[in-house]
Amino acid sequence: MQGPDVLGAVLLLGVQLRALWPAAAVEVHTSREVDAVNGTNLRLKCTFSSSRPISQHLSVTWNFQPEDLSSHEPVFYYLKEPYKLSAGRFKERVTWDGNIERNDVSIVIWNLQPTDNGTFTCQVKNPPDVDGTIGEVRLRVVRKVHFSEIHFLAVAIGSACVLMIIVVTVVIICRHHRKKVQAKRIEVADTEL
């Protein structure tokens, strides 16, 4: 065999072997950016997919990198059960809100503060799937919600509903008044006869 033929044979063999032993990898899915109001609670959603069934040794690690790019801080850890932090800015402020059977490893952060601005990472390891993507969510804590199209739509729909209720009420009152007037005319006409 010559050089190009050997290379082709090696590539073909590699493709066939890859099909027999699929790569072990976990894919993690999160929102890219989230805005939340200061003082509220927020569910940071994180889901995953794995080429293997869920392992007894599945682990979930949530970390936080502040906006000033100082060192990473632990937020939450899961291995067979949720583990709460014993120290740090997220102590007593993070709870597990996931469901491993549904590939959901979400958490809730309570009482958001401006110091929580930064990037949260969600990493899932499902042995033997230990490599893969790491989910990242950039959080922005704002003082109040900006007026958006959704708010405008909610106000428009709410106003339309109130207007419809007013119109229906006026129609009912007018019909009731008209019936009273007609009944009175009939009564007057009957007494005149």
Which pLDDT band holds residue 132 (cuts at 50, 70, 90)?
confident
Q: Using DSSP, state whether 52 is helix, strand or coil.
A: coil
The number of beta carbons lying within 10 Å of the beta carbon of residue 25 is: 15
The candidate with the shortest Cα–Cα distance to 76, out of 35, 8, 123, is 123
pLDDT 10s digits, 161-189: 899 999 999 999 989 888 888 888 887 77
Query: What pTM value is reported for the model?
Result: 0.62
What is the reported pLDDT for 148?
65
| Region of residue 118 (phi > 0: left; psi between -120 and 50: alpha; otherwise: beta) | left
CA distances from 118 to 42, 65, 109, 111, 139 (A): 14, 6, 13, 15, 5
How many Å apart are CA 77 and CA 74, to the nearest integer?
Answer: 8
